[in-house]
């Protein structure tokens, strides 16, 4: 069945950011059609969870398409309505295995003109690594914390720094980590008050949460 995709063109007026396109469960034909529709409205295309095969089809069609394989994201065109802000976001991750999620969040923020910096491999198993970066991290206005395994990094950061914290459980870890479920439950059960928790691997959602916060404090 060849169903039309109803892209939410009014989202930019309501919320200040466009609808991202979920690439994982869409066919190449669906992605081609929705991309053509969005570009015809002079908007830019941001596709998450897209693999190399699907991306190649769009790269062959559009000269300005950029595929970020580690983040599984593809961007076509430019956002001409970036946020005018001096607020900054730190993206903190427990290990390099969290990189795909952190890169998704970073890309999603950068297309809106938000200055962000990644702090990688500062997990709780080597707490000195985080402590050494605390002074620098404290210069940022919003913190996104990505961690798998038991997901304790968000609680530690939340106990040390006062900024808004958006925690992202990552589907990394052995056995009982259950593809991020353990990290999710740990973050939801955090004893550091006020931490917001995203769904598993949802770097894009964390970026949009940060964007909402920045728009309010800007």
pLDDT for residue 74: 96
Query: Does the structure show a pLDDT above 50 at 1?
Result: no
Q: What is the architecture of the domain spanning 88-217? A: 3-Layer(aba) Sandwich (3.40)
pTM above 0.85, yes or no: yes
pLDDT for residue 123: 81
Contact partners, residue 96, CB within 8 Å, separation at least 6: 120, 121
pLDDT for residue 4: 66
pLDDT for residue 96: 81
CA–CA dist 184, 168 (Å, integer): 8
Summarised one tens digit per residue, pLDDT across range 164-209 is 999 999 998 888 889 889 999 999 999 999 999 999 999 999 999 9
**How confident is residue 78, by pLDDT bands cut at 50, 70 and 90?**
confident
For a pLDDT cut of 70, what percent of the chain falls above it?
A: 98
Per-residue pLDDT, averaged over 152-158, amounts to 93
- Half-sphere exposure at residue 203, Cβ-oriented, CA atoms within 13 angstroms: 31
Please report the sign of the dihedral spanned by the C-alpha atoms of residue 17, residue 106, residue 192, residue 157. Answer: negative
Q: In the chain, what is the straight-line distance between the N-terminal and C-terminal CA atoms, in Å? A: 45
3-state secondary structure of 145: strand
Summarised one tens digit per residue, pLDDT across range 82-135 is 888 999 999 999 878 888 999 999 999 999 999 999 999 888 888 899 999 999
């Amino acid at each position: 069945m060849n169903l039309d995709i109803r892209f939410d063109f009014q989202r930019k007026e309501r919320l200040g950011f466009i609808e991202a396109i979920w690439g994982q469960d869409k066919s190449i034909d669906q992605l081609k059609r929705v991309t053509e529709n969005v570009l015809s409205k002079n908007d830019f295309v941001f596709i998450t969870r897209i693999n190399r095969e699907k991306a190649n089809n769009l790269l062959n069609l559009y000269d300005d398409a950029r595929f970020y394989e580690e983040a599984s994201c593809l961007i076509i065109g430019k956002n001409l309505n970036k946020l005018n802000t001096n607020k900054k976001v730190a993206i903190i991750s427990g290990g390099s295995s969290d990189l795909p999620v952190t890169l998704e969040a970073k890309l999603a923020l950068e297309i809106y003109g938000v200055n962000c910096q990644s702090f990688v491999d500062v997990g709780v198993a080597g707490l000195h690594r985080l402590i050494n970066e605390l002074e620098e991290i404290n210069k940022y206005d919003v913190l996104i914390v990505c961690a798998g395994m038991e997901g304790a990094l968000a609680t530690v950061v939340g106990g040390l720094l006062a900024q808004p914290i958006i925690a992202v459980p990552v589907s990394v870890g052995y056995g009982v980590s259950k593809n991020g479920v353990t990290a999710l439950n740990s973050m939801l059960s955090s004893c550091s008050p006020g931490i917001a928790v995203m769904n598993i691997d949802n770097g894009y959602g964390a970026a949009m949460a940060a964007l909402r916060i920045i728009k309010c404090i800007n």
